[in-house]
């Protein structure tokens, strides 16, 4: 115990000993008296109410309470052949507000987590520029800095659900999304320093990890709102999120947000890399495949109640909550249905409504204990309405993998247990 450590003054130690003896005496006394009516957590003095806890040096970097140990990223082992090229999922059903804690942001790596000492990290700009440049991390911090809150969604989020309900929990159906505040530098400032030639139209971003991840990005987008970020949620990026440097491509598919960013090449054509041909192209029923489907469409999901967060309190007041987002800007409205899309009520959006960020919505109602079919439907500032899964399938067939933003249905049984279903 900390108080027994050398630093505790003798008088305090004596005091503590007295306290311990006192507790034993009190326990004997209590058992002989009549049992108090009410909850023991109230009627009996609890340990944390009597004994001091850890001092300030015990937790130099604070972690969540030991009682939150289940709030973790989880993966689905059979999805991929090897955890080095795999994915895990944000526990959306355990979170609130719009900011995802850094340690819970889902992970998708193609060759594991690169551990890069920032002094050995460089960012190169080459290609159609007046002069190819190299920046150190310290150099990057000499450009004007900005802070922006953005969602990042993997284009394959909900990809397992194209053929029908598969995974029982919003962590698994929708957990390849997170939203943090990034600190970094606009790409435009860096490209201006190198001097982009007039024939330039595309930018290639490349990672320093063992997959050397690459994506082609139109220069227009790069100069508009892309950033190189070294910070998330007020501190340095986490290694899983690309420490020390990642690309931020607001509103566009997560794969383009290259982690461990080491190079930006300027060119006049796309490079047609593996991640924009073999992957991240959307196969349609007629055998054609869409490519360069960058924008993440308007989407929402009810995070509570949901299969991993059943209703345990019975009938009466119930708080339904969820998340909505769109790669087109802000969310203008979220509607909620409890009868499987027959009737809709507009939910309450609470907290900041920032463009290209998660939005938090609530819908409070009295549950009468009957079966429910919960759905949410988001509308974004451009007027795009979140489609149903059947609408998406009729337009694209079942093999698109990516960009499944269809309306999710949760079935609530009379016992409060919840299941991922598809309904008529």
Binding residues for ligand HEC restricted to 95-134, rule: CB under 6 A: 110
Residue written as tokens 């979140």?
Answer: 386
In the bound state with other proteins, the residue whose beta carbon lies nearer, of 362 and 373, is 373
User: Does 85 contact ligand HEC by CB under 6 A?
Assistant: yes
Measure the CA–CA gap between 262 and 264, rounded to whole angstroms. Answer: 7
DSSP 275: G
Candidates 280, 125, 306; CA nearest to 205 is 125
Which stretch in 81-89, 145-153, 234-242, 317-325 sits in contact with other proteins by CB under 8 A? 81-89
Q: How far is CA 119 from CA 116, 245, 289, in A?
A: 8, 12, 42
- Smallest gap from residue 96 Cβ to ligand HEC (A): 33
Contact at 8 Å (CB) between 132 and 122?
no
User: Does 128 contact other proteins by CB under 8 A?
Assistant: yes
Q: How many residues bind other proteins (CB under 8 A)?
A: 112
Which stretch in 226-234, 309-317, 360-368, 387-395 sits in contact with other proteins by CB under 8 A? 387-395
- Smallest gap from residue 154 Cβ to ligand HEC (A): 13
User: Does 102 contact other proteins by CB under 8 A?
Assistant: no
In the bound state with ligand HEC, the residue whose beta carbon lies nearer, of 85 and 126, is 85
- Smallest gap from residue 400 Cβ to ligand HEC (A): 16
Measure the CA–CA gap between 334 and 302, rounded to whole angstroms. Answer: 11
Could you give the string, one character per residue 283-322, with x where binding to other proteins holds by CB under 8 A and - elsewhere? x-xxxxxxxxxxx-x---------xx--------------
In the bound state with other proteins, the residue whose beta carbon lies nearer, of 167 and 237, is 167
164 binds, among other proteins, ligand HEC, none (CB under 5 to 8 A by kind): other proteins
Measure the CA–CA gap between 98 and 181, rounded to whole angstroms. Answer: 10
Which stretch in 28-36, 78-86, 221-229, 358-366 sits in contact with other proteins by CB under 8 A? 78-86
- Smallest gap from residue 349 Cβ to other proteins (A): 16
3-state secondary structure of 201: coil
Pairing between strand 214-218 and 359-367? unpaired
Candidates 53, 51, 55; CA nearest to 19 is 51
CA atoms within 13 A on the CB side of 334: 29
- Smallest gap from residue 133 Cβ to other proteins (A): 5
Candidates 120, 85, 62, 86; CA nearest to 243 is 120
Identify residues 198-227 at the interface with ligand HEC (CB under 6 A): 211
Identify residues 218-247 at the interface with other proteins (CB under 8 A): 218
Measure the CA–CA gap between 105 and 154, rounded to whole angstroms. Answer: 12
- Smallest gap from residue 290 Cβ to ligand HEC (A): 17
CA atoms within 13 A on the CB side of 173: 30
Residues facing residue 147 across a β-bridge: 183
Task: Return residues touching ligand HEC (CB under 6 A).
Answer: 81-82, 85, 110, 211, 274, 278
């Amino acid at each position: 115990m900390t108080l027994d450590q050398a630093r505790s003054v003798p008088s305090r130690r004596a005091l503590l000993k007295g306290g311990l003896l006192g507790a034993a005496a009190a326990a004997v006394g209590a058992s002989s008296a009549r049992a108090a009516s009410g909850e023991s957590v109230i009627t009996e003095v609890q340990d944390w109410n009597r004994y001091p806890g850890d001092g300030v040096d015990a937790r130099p970097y604070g972690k969540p309470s030991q009682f939150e140990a289940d709030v973790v990223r989880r993966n689905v082992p059979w999805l991929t052949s090897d955890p080095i090229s795999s994915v895990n999922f944000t526990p959306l059903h355990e979170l609130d507000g719009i900011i995802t804690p850094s340690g819970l942001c889902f992970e998708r790596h193609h060759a594991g987590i690169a551990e890069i000492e920032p002094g050995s990290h460089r960012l190169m700009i080459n290609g159609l520029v007046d002069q190819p440049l190299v920046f150190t991390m310290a150099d990057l911090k000499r450009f004007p800095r900005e802070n922006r809150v953005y969602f990042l969604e993997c284009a394959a989020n909900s990809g397992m659900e194209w053929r029908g309900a598969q995974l029982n929990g919003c962590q698994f159906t929708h957990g390849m999304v997170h939203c943090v505040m990034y600190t970094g530098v606009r790409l435009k400032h860096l490209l201006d320093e190198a001097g982009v030639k007039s024939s330039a139209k595309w930018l290639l971003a490349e990672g320093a990890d063992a997959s050397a991840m690459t994506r082609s990005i139109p220069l227009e987008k790069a100069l508009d709102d892309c950033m190189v970020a070294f910070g998330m949620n007020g501190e340095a990026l986490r290694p899983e999120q690309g420490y020390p440097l990642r690309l931020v491509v607001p509103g566009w598919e997560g794969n383009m947000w290259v982690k461990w960013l080491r190079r930006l090449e300027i060119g006049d054509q796309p490079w047609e890399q593996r991640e924009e041909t073999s992957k991240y192209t959307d196969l349609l029923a007629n055998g054609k495949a869409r490519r360069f489907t960058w924008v993440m469409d308007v989407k929402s999901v009810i995070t509570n109640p949901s299969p991993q967060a059943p209703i345990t309190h019975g009938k009466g007041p119930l708080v339904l909550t969820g998340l909505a987002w769109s790669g087109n800007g802000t969310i203008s409205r979220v509607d909620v249905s409890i009868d499987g899309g027959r009737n809709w009520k507009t939910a309450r959006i609470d907290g900041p409504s920032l463009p290209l960020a998660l939005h938090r919505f609530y819908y409070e109602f009295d549950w009468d204990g009957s079966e429910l079919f919960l759905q949410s439907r988001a509308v974004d500032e451009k007027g795009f309405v979140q489609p149903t899964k059947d609408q998406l399938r009729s337009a694209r067939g079942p093999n698109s993998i990516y960009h499944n933003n269809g309306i999710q249905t949760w079935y609530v049984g009379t016992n409060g247990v919840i299941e991922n279903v598809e309904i008529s």
